[in-house]
Amino acid sequence: MKLALFDLDNTLLAGDSDYEWGQFLVDRGVLAREAYEAQNRAYYEQYAAGTLDIHEYLGFALRPLAEHAPEDLARWHAAFMASRIRPMITPRARDLVRGHIAAGDLCAIVTATNSFVTAPIAREFGVPHLIATEPEKAGGRFTGRVAGTPCFREGKIRRVDEWLAGLGRPLASFAESTFYSDSHNDLPLLARVTRPVAVDPDAQLADEAGRRGWPVISLRRQAS
């Protein structure tokens, strides 16, 4: 059996689900535009630059989950999927995932974005396993805090290793392990698999992929 791991934002999606969720809530009037929008953009730019403090960011990003009832969050997310997420899924992204599933590979989405936002997206792709940052819950509601290790940078390695240990299948046991990502933030996990693939990569990852001879593909353009 082979292992196929997929980053989500700007890899399988032609956009960032975490950023778009915040903007969606602003546009719906759930969050105050003046207080939220500029900070959301600033954190996104820090992520792109590789300077993001993940714990500081999660304190910001998870707060709206704690401030609203689960039924309201679920209703908003259904509208978010229809208006923001499905338009960001390209046919080539769907075909890539379907090909790995059809081949019988063990497939998982591995994302720093929290599981409330991303679980329905994983289901949309038909990917059976999701390794994401987990928002803490208590009494049936989100607390605004993170549970366990954020699935970010080196944390992705730890979370993947924990998941595979639970299956009794360490990474080294797979004949081939592939990880698809767009971001230099994912270099730690890309360096761990046998087949790292840069997907519509940022400048830093494109440079590193060129230096190491990693394949580079596009799920957006017609030509790879």
The rounded distance, in Å, linking the Cα atoms of 25 and 36 is 10
Per-residue model confidence (pLDDT) at position 67: 96
Report whether CATH 3.40.50.1000 matches the domain 3-217. Answer: yes
| Residue found under tokens 């995932």 | 97
Per-residue model confidence (pLDDT) at position 224: 38
Let me know if 105 is a catalytic residue.
no
Parts of the chain with a pLDDT under 50:
223-224
| Residue found under tokens 């599933």 | 101
Q: Which stretches of 50-133 are DSSP H helices?
A: 54-61, 63-66, 70-80, 91-102, 115-125
The alpha carbon of residue 42 and the mean position of all alpha carbons in its chain are separated, in whole angstroms, by 19
* Phi, psi dihedrals of residue 27, rounded to the nearest 5°: -65, -30
If you count DSSP H runs as helices and E runs as strands, how many of each does the chain have, helices first? Answer: 10, 7
The H or E element that residue 162 is part of is helix 154-167
Active-site residue, selected from the candidate residues 7, 16, 18, 105:
7
Extract the tokens encoding 40.
Answer: 């959301």
Beta bridge partners of 146: 135
Let me know if 9 is a catalytic residue.
yes
The rounded distance, in Å, linking the Cα atoms of 115 and 129 is 11
Per-residue model confidence (pLDDT) at position 34: 87
* This prediction's pTM: 0.95
Q: What pLDDT digit, counting tens, does each position of 60-105 carry?
A: 999 999 999 999 999 999 999 999 999 999 999 999 999 999 999 9
Per-residue model confidence (pLDDT) at position 222: 57
Q: What percentage of the chain's residues is helix, strand, coil (to nearest 5)? A: 55, 20, 25
Mean pLDDT of the chain: 96
The rounded distance, in Å, linking the Cα atoms of 110 and 1 is 19
Given a contact cutoff of 8 angstroms between Cβ atoms, the answer to whether 203 and 33 are in contact is: no
Q: What pLDDT digit, counting tens, does each position of 183-203 carry?
A: 999 999 999 999 999 999 999
